[in-house]
Amino acid sequence: MTAHGRDSGVPTDPSERRFDPAGHGRRAAQWTGEVFIILMTVFFLVAVAALMREARARPPAADIELVRDPEEQPPLIILDEASGYSFATGTHDLSPAFRRALDEKIVPAIAHEADACRCDVLEVFGHTDGQPYRGVPGARRGSLDTLPDRFAAGDLRGLTAGSNVELGYLRAAAVADYLAGLGADGGLARIRFLHFHSTGSMVLPSGKRASGRDQLPDAARRRIELRLSRSTDQHVVELRTNTPRVTRARPDD
């Protein structure tokens, strides 16, 4: 090798090439990164394949039983006129669409929630909006004192309301009567007690008390609410409230 070659620091003989630690480290890091990417890809593909096998082995969603804590409060089912659950104006006559919805959607939903929460009581609440009730032209007002016997006979025809409270009561009774007519074979085998109530225009959809000044038409306020509960819970409440305690609020509270 010439002195020029040695002095320049550039070896001309392959046997004299020097080891480059920095270059070797870069190549090792690159190789390690490539191996890591390959391994991660393999793990990902294996995981995807396992999930696909599990999905194929899983039964259809309709066959999956949703597990709910039996102590959980069942949901409130709201059927408002804004969603298509309507009555003929001023009456408690169920529309054909309302009846179909009860058969196809509402009864299965009630049955599912009743089974999930072990409920045997169904309460139906009738609500109206704040419009003053004017009745139905040509209709003769009848006494609602006969409602218990008429409900037991399954015949609510001819009954007319004289106020929003009575209208809400008749509408709740009409829904309860329809559900009672379905019987256990209609999907409500777990329900043992069926009650109906009315709040008239007193309660807003939010649960707050309505103002008497709000007398505008409101389809969301004209609604039926279905509430599920357990008769055992009601008995406990009755026993605890045999001696009611009333706390009166002072005007400055």
Q: Is residue 100 part of a domain?
A: yes
Residues 83, 120, single domain; the answer is: yes
pLDDT mean over 217-240 = 77
Q: Is residue 69 part of a domain?
A: no
pLDDT of res. 70 = 52
Which residue would you say has higher pLDDT here, 234 or 237?
A: 234
Residues 170, 93, single domain; the answer is: yes
Which residue would you say has higher pLDDT here, 83 or 243?
A: 83
pLDDT mean over 60-86 = 66
Q: Is residue 105 part of a domain?
A: yes
Alpha-carbon distances of 169 from 2, 135, 244, 250, rounded to whole Å? 115, 14, 26, 33
Residues 176, 226, single domain; the answer is: yes
Q: Is residue 162 part of a domain?
A: yes
pLDDT over 90, % of the chain: 30
pLDDT mean over 225-236 = 79
Please report which confidence band the pLDDT of residue 26 belongs to, taking 50, 70 and 90 as the band edges: low
Give the CATH number, domain containing residue 217. Answer: 3.30.1330.60
Which residue would you say has higher pLDDT here, 24 or 4?
A: 24
Residues 45, 165, single domain; the answer is: no
Measured distance CA(157)–CA(214) in Å, rounded = 31
pLDDT mean over 216-225 = 92
Residues 29, 110, single domain; the answer is: no
CB 156 within 8 A of CB 174: yes
Residues 129, 220, single domain; the answer is: yes
Residues 28, 125, single domain; the answer is: no
pLDDT of res. 99 = 92
Measured distance CA(55)–CA(143) in Å, rounded = 61
Q: Is residue 192 part of a domain?
A: yes
Q: Is residue 97 part of a domain?
A: yes
Q: Is residue 250 part of a domain?
A: no
- Does residue 233 carry a pLDDT above 60? yes
Which residue would you say has higher pLDDT here, 252 or 145?
A: 145
Find how far residue 57's CA is from the centre of its chain.
29
pLDDT of res. 138 = 59
- Give residue 166's domain range: 75-232
Q: Is residue 70 part of a domain?
A: no
pLDDT mean over 216-220 = 89
Which residues share a beta bridge with 223?
80, 127
**Candidate from 86-90, 148-152, 226-230 with smallest mean pLDDT:** 148-152
Say which amino acid occupies 221: R
**Candidate from 21-25, 147-151, 233-237 with smallest mean pLDDT:** 233-237
Residues 87, 206, single domain; the answer is: yes
Residues 113, 170, single domain; the answer is: yes
Show the tokens assigned to 25. Answer: 């480290």
- pTM of the complete model: 0.62
pLDDT of res. 226 = 95
Residues 37, 94, single domain; the answer is: no
pLDDT, tens only, 189-215: 889 999 999 999 999 988 889 887 888
User: What's the structural domain count of the chain?
Assistant: 2
Smallest CA-to-CA distance from 92 within 127, 56, 47 is with 127
pLDDT, tens only, 129-183: 998 888 776 565 666 877 888 888 888 888 888 889 999 999 999 999 999 988 7
pLDDT, tens only, 49-70: 766 665 444 333 333 233 445 5
Residues 83, 174, single domain; the answer is: yes
Residues 29, 93, single domain; the answer is: no
pLDDT of res. 243 = 43
